[in-house]
Structure 1
Amino acid sequence: MTIERQNPPGLHTPPGYHHVTVTGSRRTVYLAGQCPLAADGSVVEGLLPQVDQVVANTSTALNSAGASPAHVVRTVIYVVATDRPVLSAVWDRFTKSEIGAAFTSASTLVGVAQLGYPGQLVELDVTAALD
């Protein structure tokens, strides 16, 4: 399967991701929003430890579908923050993680007011494409 990542002429050069991701996949994998929940269902404390838990959960979910970070065609990161340095720290932590390749496709980083679980500071939405 081919996944084509593009930055069309006339658009700014993004920092690590691509504006457009095109695939001819026959199978699409949609993950539920991956939350910073430990196996016992508790919310991990602290922003960067939450990112690490989301990375672990996302890796497990992708593997269960026969996918890897290289198959990811779109990500949306939600962070309870309005401060740009906090958003940048989360982006950096994700892109340097074991699933960092997932963020080279079409990616969005959004600061939000709150997420679903009390104490939750980050969530990741992932779509992958497989043959």
Structure 2
Amino acid sequence: MTTKITRINPGQLHEPPGYHHITVVESGRTAFLAGQCPLDHTGALVGPGDLDAQIDQVASNALTALTAVGAQPQHVVRSVIYVLSDDTAVLSAAWNRLIHSPIGAAFTTASTLLGIAQLGFTGQLIEVDLTAALPD
């Protein structure tokens, strides 16, 4: 049996840029990933001051975490992206890099992008929180 995931954009809502307003999971198990940070396997911050390098590390970490539970980016049903910026151009650039990353399919689902004032690690510019419907 395969977990059925349906993504919906109601006609009465605006057309979103790549994601869907609603994601419905019909059955199965769910994995809630901790926020994926731009840290390497030793816990060191990757790319201080370099948002692109940090996005690449976050994408790599997220792919590793998804793979560990038998999931792939297309199994993600909810994402929240936190970027240390209040500049919409920076937020847009972060979104574009993520959707073109190896985990890009994760962001076609219900997604939220937030510009925030602080993250947990000194020098951290981005964090991505993912929820996945695990395949049967």
For this structure pair, what is the TM-score category when the shorter chain's length is used for normalisation? Answer: over 0.9
C-alpha deviation, 1:118, in angstroms: 0.4
Q: Which letter maps to 1:6?
A: I
Residue 105 of structure 2: aligned partner:
101
Residue 65 of structure 2: aligned partner:
61
Unpaired runs of 5+ in structure 2? none
* 1:124 aligned onto 2:128: yes
Q: Which whole-Å CA distance do the structure 2 matches of 1:100 and 1:54 have between them?
A: 12
TM-score (normalised: structure 1): 0.98
Between stretches 37-46 and 105-114, larger displacement belongs to 37-46
Other structure's SS at 1:9 match? coil
Residue 9 of structure 1: aligned partner:
11
Q: Which letter maps to 1:28?
A: T
Residue 90 of structure 1: aligned partner:
94
Q: Which letter maps to 1:34?
A: Q
Q: Which whole-Å CA distance do the structure 2 matches of 1:21 and 1:71 have between them?
A: 11
Q: Which letter maps to 1:36?
A: P
Residue 32 of structure 1: aligned partner:
34
TM-score (normalised: structure 2): 0.94
- Percent identity of paired positions between Structure 1 and Structure 2: 60
Q: Which whole-Å CA distance do the structure 2 matches of 1:8 and 1:89 have between them?
A: 26
Q: Which whole-Å CA distance do the structure 2 matches of 1:2 and 1:114 have between them?
A: 36
* 1:110 aligned onto 2:110: no
4+ aligned runs moved over 3 Å, structure 1: none
Residue 41 of structure 1: aligned partner:
43
C-alpha deviation, 1:25, in angstroms: 2.6
Q: How many residues align?
A: 131
Q: State the superposition RMSD in angstroms.
A: 0.7
Q: Which whole-Å CA distance do the structure 2 matches of 1:106 and 1:31 have between them?
A: 15
